[in-house]
Structure 1
């Protein structure tokens, strides 16, 4: 599988990567054997970049991914995890409902400070059982998760001291790259005014349907040499399922306007003889600053099917037919919270 560089670092990642949120039991349980089978399917298919976070299953996904990678050659894979949430133990049966099924018995507290990031890294080493983390993403900072008022304090903590922790970890060789792992554009612009980032894991904002990142973020990334890792390419599923009853866009039931756009996109794909999921998966890789497309699933069969949709590559000229159907997601209200 082809590899692309991360920012201006020497680190290279495979064009297709595996995200571990579903392995942590997002929306449905993922037993250990199933997680190992899915990870092995990715490895067998050539994936060598794996992304996880303490948040995924409240530690469960880090344990799965660490156990899997421990048996693999150290110099063959790239691993990223995230900082910004610190896990603390809670009594069995009292874990809040964060949409993870059968998570570990922990809850999470936000902490984007120097000390919080350093503690988070140490905890991740312990859960992973590995002595190396290649990329650290600052997870879910921004108004999308916290709302405008609460995020102002988190951003002060991060820019005031947290960024220094990441810079020290990189300069010491403990990590090779750092950036943000978010679902929104504004916080990336805010942070990049004051800090240089190697990469941004952007979910759902540079897709076949949603081009929110195009106007400001992509030009800024090009200028500053910041790579994008693109997740959420199906926009909560609708670009994989099509506009079927119950379709979701951006974590909510799809509006009639979005359903109509996706129906038209599906017709374009059908006319060219491929499923809509194929251009949805391949589209981000047309952009040179995109280093990898992150696939998230807990099923080996789904992962294999999606990986097959990356070949053959769709002619670039086909994408022009989708342009009039793209949209920019409206900004969330300042009190909106996503977890």
Structure 2
């Protein structure tokens, strides 16, 4: 089963693969391990793959494209992003860990949301991916750009035009900033919003403005970061688990442990419940999980395929103040 994105003809699998980790996010991943991880995603039935030039300064796109080169083009969907152009930096020293990636700093990112920059970014992504087309193009973290208004003024119109021409199948924006996501949901005709960490079993701020706007306007949601950087990816979260790529504050950890305790009482694991909840809102077309090891993507796929948790679990979470009562839950 697939779901189409907005008013486009692009259909994504309910579970997607986020390719940041195979771009050496935080740690080096060998080419063999990267290929095995994407292979595990394919064998699990995943047919939607998300990447970006930002991930590993192009390494993620190169590795993902190298694997997909052996697969029928019409059987999968790829999204990548615009906003950061990659330029050679022969004098670059050391690695890119300041940006989170264990790769040599031989290239650097330059913000460019101009019309020319968007077109250049797409052309260069096509070359790195080795593809003849990109199914979904997302504007990446526009709120972090030095000229955020330029994204709406220049980048969005050119993407809209490329969609009209059929050069790209669907367009959207990816961000963790609620205000940015809400603005694109109400002021543009994007097909999809990639909502990063703003609609999870732990926290649901996207319910305030973003998801209602998407539901009303037929915009699809690509839900990413649903484990809150790893805090919800284990049966019992403790202080060693990351939250928002850092240490979890005491109140957040206590809340996660409270959810885990209620899940245990109902015979459900925390990650199973997190994935089921993340997919339950009607606007969500795909839940995208990142992985840098085959066993990690296999495990996520197994959790995702488990039977729907009982209605009593969600009712208890609401009664205990651990889940918003207005959040749609799995049927």
User: Which category describes the TM-score, using the shorter chain as reference length?
Assistant: over 0.9
- Residue number in structure 1 paired with 2:120: 119
1:252 aligns with 2:246: yes
Q: What secondary structure is seen at the aligned counterpart in 2 of 1:243?
A: coil
Distance 1:288 1:103, change over 3 A: farther
Deviation of 1:7 after TM superposition, in Å, equals: 1.1
Deviation of 1:246 after TM superposition, in Å, equals: 2.5
- Residue number in structure 2 paired with 1:40: 39
Q: What secondary structure is seen at the aligned counterpart in 2 of 1:218?
A: helix
Deviation of 1:95 after TM superposition, in Å, equals: 4.7
Q: Give yes or no for contact 1:60–1:103 (8 Å, CA) kept in 2.
A: no
Q: Which moved more, 1:92-101 or 1:293-302?
A: 92-101
Deviation of 1:178 after TM superposition, in Å, equals: 0.6
Q: What secondary structure is seen at the aligned counterpart in 2 of 1:282?
A: helix
1:165 aligns with 2:166: no
Distance 1:113 1:315, change over 3 A: farther
- Residue number in structure 2 paired with 1:132: 133
- What TM-score do you get using the length of structure 1 for normalisation? 0.90
Question: Residues 250-280 of structure 1, C-alpha deviation per residue, up to 9 Å, x if partnerless?
Answer: 2221111111111111111111122201011
- Residue number in structure 2 paired with 1:235: 228
- Residue number in structure 2 paired with 1:201: 194
From 263, 284, 287, the counterpart of 2:281? 287
Q: Give yes or no for contact 1:285–1:292 (8 Å, CA) kept in 2.
A: yes
User: How many Å separate the matches in 1 of 2:105 and 2:132?
Assistant: 22
Q: Which moved more, 1:187-196 or 1:306-315?
A: 187-196
Question: Residues 85-137 of structure 1, C-alpha deviation per residue, up to 9 Å, x if partnerless?
Answer: 00011125345421111256211011112111111001101111111100001
User: How many Å separate the matches in 1 of 2:311 and 2:163?
Assistant: 37
User: How many Å separate the matches in 1 of 2:237 and 2:75?
Assistant: 39
Q: Give yes or no for contact 1:114–1:158 (8 Å, CA) kept in 2.
A: no
From 309, 318, 328, the counterpart of 2:313? 318
Q: Give yes or no for contact 1:141–1:182 (8 Å, CA) kept in 2.
A: yes
- Residue number in structure 1 paired with 2:78: 79
- Residue number in structure 1 paired with 2:291: 297
> Is there any run of 5+ residues in structure 2 with no aligned partner, and where?
325-331
1:106 aligns with 2:79: no
- Residue number in structure 2 paired with 1:141: 142
User: How many Å separate the matches in 2 of 1:117 and 1:277?
Assistant: 37
Q: What secondary structure is seen at the aligned counterpart in 2 of 1:236?
A: helix
User: How many Å separate the matches in 2 of 1:317 and 1:73?
Assistant: 43
Paired positions, count: 318
- What TM-score do you get using the length of structure 2 for normalisation? 0.92
Q: What secondary structure is seen at the aligned counterpart in 2 of 1:200?
A: strand
User: How many Å separate the matches in 2 of 1:65 and 1:316?
Assistant: 38
Q: What secondary structure is seen at the aligned counterpart in 2 of 1:166?
A: helix
1:263 aligns with 2:262: no
Q: Give yes or no for contact 2:141–2:176 (8 Å, CA) kept in 1.
A: yes
Q: Give yes or no for contact 1:57–1:104 (8 Å, CA) kept in 2.
A: no
Q: Which moved more, 1:53-62 or 1:242-251?
A: 242-251
Q: What secondary structure is seen at the aligned counterpart in 1 of 2:101?
A: coil
Q: What secondary structure is seen at the aligned counterpart in 1 of 2:25?
A: coil
Q: Give yes or no for contact 1:60–1:104 (8 Å, CA) kept in 2.
A: no
- Residue number in structure 2 paired with 1:334: none
Q: Which moved more, 1:192-201 or 1:29-38?
A: 192-201
- Residue number in structure 1 paired with 2:329: none
From 179, 184, 195, the counterpart of 1:191? 184
> Is there any run of 5+ residues in structure 1 with no aligned partner, and where?
328-339
Q: What secondary structure is seen at the aligned counterpart in 1 of 2:110?
A: strand
